[in-house]
Amino acid sequence: MDQSLNTGVIAEATYTESNPIRKLAKEILNGRTEPYSSEEIRRIVDSRYFSFEPLTNLTDEEASFLRSRMVNDFLNCFDKEKGTIGKFLQSECYQTPFQSEYPFGDIYARDALPDNFDCSRSRLRLMTANDKLAFLENPDYVEARWHTKNMSMDFSKMGYRTLKGYGNKFCGESFTAVVRQLQADSGKKELHVLDLGGGMGFALHDAKKMHPELVTYNATRDEEFAHYPTDFHVVGFMERMPLALQGKIDFIFSNMTTRYLAYSDLVIQCCVLMLAKGGFMDIFFSSERSNNRCEEDISRRMKKAHDYLKSLERSGEIQLTINHTYYGLGKHRSKNGTLYPAATVFVKKL
């Protein structure tokens, strides 16, 4: 086994081979019909997300909450009735030919077609198991429309966002300026850059095209069938990042990922610990749409995160800027003394 699997920081080739989502999909496509049990999935979650030494320690209650949530996500993904992917894998499906003006195409479950449907008289083609797997593993196809009897949706997932689409101050158009400044300050050309909650890695894909000298890390809790290549994948919970990244990352960026996370105070501790000396992070901390914990707990943890950053600022360990103005459905401003419900955090490690 590749030792990187025991560190939580996995190189691209190893990640593709070890991705449990792909492995479970192949089992179904190869004929597995019985549903996955909670215990079976829990063993995968424990070996994948809890097998490496972390930067921060979770309480038993915190670890149990994250573990159970991940197990449920896996089970729902592959459920034939509940999950889009599970239904797609286990249904008779037909695909339209891809066209240059619409490269993503349409896919129809059999129940979305007329009872008298005749494939030989249609432009639709029956998908084989290999067709389905190739489709799921190609990130360029995530906008294909998926049609069933009761709904029509696309295969897009969280994290399918270009670098330009990030709302951070130092991403998008100004990303190059940050890279050049960090290179000048550190004397290093090869910078280690991490997207916190990067999903399919589209933003890092953009970053690498702009600056091939970067070493890119895609940190994501929810692994994907399809992903754009990055140098390393950081597998795990944002609240429990790998110890192997301590002091290693020159630039961390993220956009609204924290609304999908349970413990923002632990997330921000991990980010600070991952930063190299002189490193920089630009993160939009947001919980205004979070449904992971009760509002009281979220508010408490967002204040705890704020107080942790302020204590580091007072001790001279970081330079800190917090912008309390944010844009959701209109312009809002969170209170001073907390990151709740949302705030943009800029940190430089001294």
CA–CA distance, 29 with 52 (Å, rounded to integer): 31
* Number of domains, the chain: 1
Residue 279 in domain: yes
3-state secondary structure of 65: helix
CA–CA distance, 290 with 276 (Å, rounded to integer): 30
What tokens were used for 237? 């919970």
Q: What is the identity of the amino acid at 189?
A: K
Residue 70 in domain: no
pTM for this model (two decimals)? 0.91
Residue 186 in domain: yes
Tens-digit pLDDT profile for residues 19-58: 898 899 999 999 998 999 999 999 999 999 999 999 999 9
Token match 């997330």: residue?
Answer: 267
CA–CA distance, 290 with 297 (Å, rounded to integer): 11
DSSP letter at 123 equals S
Residue 98 in domain: no
Residue 262 in domain: yes
184 touches 210 (CB < 8 A): no
CA–CA distance, 154 with 142 (Å, rounded to integer): 7
Q: Where are the alpha helices (DSSP H) in 215-294?
A: 264-274
Per-residue pLDDT, 99: 59
Per-residue pLDDT, 290: 63
**Per-run averaged pLDDT (10 residues), the chain, 350 residues:** 70 89 92 92 94 95 94 89 83 79 75 86 89 87 81 69 76 84 94 93 92 95 86 92 97 83 91 96 77 79 94 98 74 79 91
What residues contact residue 149 under an 8 Å CB cut-off, 6+ apart?
109, 111, 112
3-state secondary structure of 89: helix
Domain that includes residue 241, residue range: 172-349
Per-residue pLDDT, 5: 58
Measured at the alpha carbon of residue 36, what is the angle toward residues 262 and 128, in degrees to the nearest 5? 110
Residue 294 in domain: yes
Tens-digit pLDDT profile for residues 139-179: 877 778 888 888 887 776 655 777 887 777 777 678 899 99
Q: 320: domain CATH number?
A: 3.40.50.150
Residue 296 in domain: yes
Per-residue pLDDT, 170: 76
Distance of CA 298 to the CA centre of its chain: 20
Residue 237 in domain: yes
194 touches 252 (CB < 8 A): yes
Measured at the alpha carbon of residue 60, what is the angle toward residues 56 and 63, in degrees to the nearest 5? 65
